Structure 1
Amino acid sequence: MTSGVLANFWGNKNFEFACVESSGHSGGMVWMWDPKVLKIEVVLKNRHFLLIRGSTVGSGDPINLLNVYAPQNTVAKRNLWDEISSVIDSSVGAWVLAGDFNSVSSAEERRHSKFKPVCANQFNEFIFNNGLLEYPMQGRRFTCVRDNGKKLSKLDRFLVCSEFFNKWPNACVRVIQCYKSDHSPILLELVDLNFGPRPFRIFNSWIEKAGFECDNR
């Protein structure tokens, strides 16, 4: 992947980038950033994720951005969750994970396609164990549309650490209509939008985790 090709997406040449090349028609990942906004010091490449680590220019706040392209196989996904978990370290700044996780967290995130409870439980365990949170999604409920609109899934998302979430509590994820792909682009909008009270979500698999307590009063 060349800077000339990426400039068509960015709009000019005032950017830096890191990428993992695709395998055939799938698997490619890229981060692009404005060096006047982000100072990136570390790039970690993996077949299924791309991590850039640095700080915001001016404030110097450390930030970790991890792009994910998860495999389809359940065992391979579990191995990926373990590998990403070994990389996440809250002591080195805020974390933002984004991309195609190829997993849903509940049956409601699939329509007319097979739901795998084991895969969902493993994904929810990964989210819970790393203290990750998700913003409400606006525009569309599903990000992947296949078979002429018959099969719908929410496979693409942003997951952020509590530090990032607390700094931008009113942000949201907006789903953009897709044209050339079966996946819709998603945008994380860090603006003060008022969509009413933030919904609270809980997964059944969390209840069995150590340290999770329910007040039945």
Structure 2
Amino acid sequence: MQVRPISPEQLVQLLADRIEALPADDGRRLRVAVDGAPAARPGELADALVEPLQLRGRPVLRVSAADFLRPASVRLEYGRQDSDAYHDLWLDDGALLREVLDPLEPGGSGRVLPSFWDAAADRATRAAYTELPPGGVLLLDGALLLGRWLPFELTVHLALSPGALARRTPAEEQWTLPAFARYEAETGPASAADLTVRSDDPRHPALVLR
């Protein structure tokens, strides 16, 4: 395994090129996941990919897994700071499949619900459905996405060392750290992802070459 330093701007262009190179000649819609702990800022990388892909003529839909959490009655059944529940129960995999990923399968309708649950208000977002045209790209960001049998054409994992994860996680979220330790031990996201980027310093990412 080799690690190649890369600038944030080069990383965005490299990922946009990689997405553009994925087979989509038949109008296939592409599902791309940017996985990482909140401290790794996966949403920022997904946001940065929107314009380069649009400049390549690709319609883009941005979705965040944080908008597909289960109701508080399920998430917080074992308390507000239960790391195992955070790992196992918070993400509503079924809603994400049903409302976002499955409609983008080949021959699917392309009709996607961009958000499902408002965790702060603990109610449905009542968002309107939107259609991703053929050849479009879904950019989904979130934590703990891999190892769940969710279908993607490309997965990117933003890796943090345990020390960097602890330093960059706010004090009020330190209780989630055991969940990410479990994720490393049980899922091995750096190996499960198609591309892994070391992100201990967001100003100086490094691409892991396998």
Under a length normalisation based on structure 2, what TM-score does the superposition of the two structures give?
0.32
Larger RCO (CA within 8 A; separation ≥ 6): 2
Bigger share in helix: 2
